[in-house]
Structure 1
Amino acid sequence: MGLKPKKTLIVFIFIFTAFFSSFAYAEGQRIFEKDEAEYINRIYKDLPTASLKTDTRSLESVTYVSSLEQLESMLYDAMTDRKASFEAVYTGGTSDMLNDMEAVFENVTASDDYLKFSYTFISYGYSGYPGNYRIYYNMTYLTSKEQEDYVDSRVDGILSEIVLPGMSSFEKELAIHDYIVKNVEYDTSYKEHSAYAALAYGKTVCQGYSLLAYKMLEEAGVQARIVEGDESMNHAWNMVNIDGNWYHSDLTWDDPLPDVKNRTMYTYFNLSDERMSGDHFWDKATYPDCTSEKYSYMNEVTYPVTMDGRLYYSSSIDDRLYSMLLDGSVRQLICPDRSLFLCGYGDWIYFSNYSRGGYIYRTSTDGSSTEIINNVHSTYLSIDGNELTFLNEGTDQTEVIYLEPLAPQSIELNKDSLRITKGGSSSVGFGMYPAGASGDIIWTSSDTGVAQVDSSGNITALSGGICILRATVEGTEISDECTVIVEDPAESSEAEIIDYKREIDPGKKWAVEFSGALSKEISIADLVQVTQRGLDSGACAVFGEEDNKIEVIPPAEGYIKGKSYRLCISKDVSSSDGISLEKPVVLYFVVD
């Protein structure tokens, strides 16, 4: 499959289009001024985009801005919320109001690549007197606030499924790259440009690929940029920072055109400036240097399958089946035949054998055994559960081969811990191993008064506290767990929540140390209490051996495993000098 023609790839390039209506006149000793300007995204220069003018003299409510820094912050918030306009009275200093407004806008977009590639048009202007300018910005965008909320929600959900605990930055990038390339196709009508279109419609152009990759990488904790091609190249792609080194990554050009289902390429994955500049052109002065060639081994990988820490792939050089570790080491030839459309299941790699009629074969992951599965030309292989689906090229029909179900050996949740606000909800994804293993999952919460979980792993936060979420493969003892912390904003405003702890000792004795000696006149047993769902747990607080310490003795029978406990120190606890706490101090804990 060839790469997409470069002439069809589009990018936002912003050009200054007009100054107009600039004038000033004297009124006594004061000079009345007015000026306006606009930027238009060059991709929309031929569209009937009307300038949205604001009459700033008739504002019903007035926002006052006293500095350019404050203006920058407020404009950023307005654009992030996809506001169509922002209006204010500027009372701060300036030597050139219009130029300062332009600089503020440029600072806002320079600070956030996602925002820079999401707006389509902006006009701005001011009128009035120095120290009392009425200013406005009018903006149009690719998407609405509701659509961006959809993007945020979908990105959170996708990342919860594909990013697992302990993944390195490289592994996160790889998972995000593969998800986008496999689930998004290039929009040959050139109508869709956003991350929203990529997720909602499954198609977009280069801006949408780059915006979605940027959003997912940043949310996964991987620093990223969106690169804008220069005047000779209307195109956009990403840069990504892996372990302190920057790399180019062009997901658009790694996605074949026409779209090939389940095919992933890495031709433009983690390239250096030198290699990228062969057919990509950009202003190098405005972006970080990319000098590392660490991941060049990935550029020949197609149809990747990751299993047990190894990467199995068809080489774009000779189409043969290889495996290697994720760092590119310990490379091994698994099958000498031309192997396409790879899928992993158990200890086998299934593929279409183009050296033998395109029939489906399978090869053991160590390369010691190869077997034929069918005798028809088969393409577009995919495995879901124990169903191997493929396209029969002879009949042009999709067919299914049912593989022997695999017993799960382990399950891994994609989060070790999770914080939710009371009344909110979240979810936890999981992976079952080996690849292709299946089984029903039983979800449980150790304290349903804190958080409840349904049969799909969706969590509802009910009250402040801490509990343990557990996923167990039905009929087995195979399980994994996640610590769930529920924060109650109302309680946090009235008390100092110092921590949420997970302990293993039901007989845990808590030691509390204060900054000064405690008054012996206070009743520690009444002022320091441990409760469970508002009921006394049976724990008892006593003065410690030192005059600034107390000890909390556990109940005689110990704390109940899995239940959320609340240790509260009343604000009436006072020092020997009569100084009390400003507010109650609370520690939540659970014993596992």
Structure 2
Amino acid sequence: MPQKKIAIIFLLLNSIFLNYTFAQKINEVDKIVAKYPKSFATTEKLAERIEEDFNSDYDKARAIYSWIAFNIRYDYNAFLNPPRTQGFSYSTEAEKQRKIKELNDRLWQKAFSSKKAVCEGFTALYQHLAELTGLKSEIIRGDSKISLRDIGRKNTSSNHAWNIVLIDRKWRLIDVTWGQGYFDNSKGRMVNDFSPVYFDTDPDYFFAKHFPDSGSYLGDRLDKDAFLNGPLIYNKTIENDFKIKSPTTGIIEAKYGDKIDVEIKNVKKSDQVLYLNKRNQPVLIKNAKEKRGGLEFQIPYDNNIGEYVTVFVNTNSIVSFKVIPK
């Protein structure tokens, strides 16, 4: 089949698949919250509604996540034109905490009233609603990995924020900013696309895309090099538990004629697996082998492979690697 026809079919299947899976990924808590008003008079009224409808801390935490993701939009204009950062002075730890609270209060109030925010507003609103419903939550700031250019970066930077919330004596990782949607480079705008995968995310997946400023999580040091040099994974990778077993790094050194060995757990031979060449044309993987609960295959490194190679499973991007010629 000509490559052009494959590309058209690929895009069509992708559109159909996205529409179908959206209905599948809404759980019972989300269905209830989806019927809530888009606006409440106060955050206290919203918290009261959540407490009326849900008993467990887990469901309350999920309801807060869902309502924010459904109703607060990412303010891309504010991201492009951030207000000037204003520092503050303090003489005691108590004064420092009071001023931080005042800052967070302004952030959640603006997000709640305007229905738009950047990550600081999302996290402040989540923390505030968690406190109103009797949950303990904290805001964590750090780095994020979102694009091909992030593979092999030399340093981390503080450019993002997320929450942790204590449920059943266990801290859970939450990124409601990413739960509400994503930026579509091809369209040059934000796309509203609810994703549940950033609620109570598996730490292995979460820290492949996030790195806290502290460099640690619950007292354990995280591997900074693994974050910077690891492959770029996507929402569907997390949703389907597609663990990337090989290559173990996001940076592959190869010469023409080499074959890049790839192993992904929980992928079946019946799944359609392909990669994009440097002209963004899909190339179907052939002769893949099922092994150890996953799929093994090879990608030939030739002049059709560009600086990056992205693997797709059933039309969804799963993992990207950076290829450096030897």
Q: Normalising to structure 1: TM-score of the pair?
A: 0.23
Larger radius of gyration: 1
- TM normalised by structure 2 equals 0.39
Higher helix share: 2
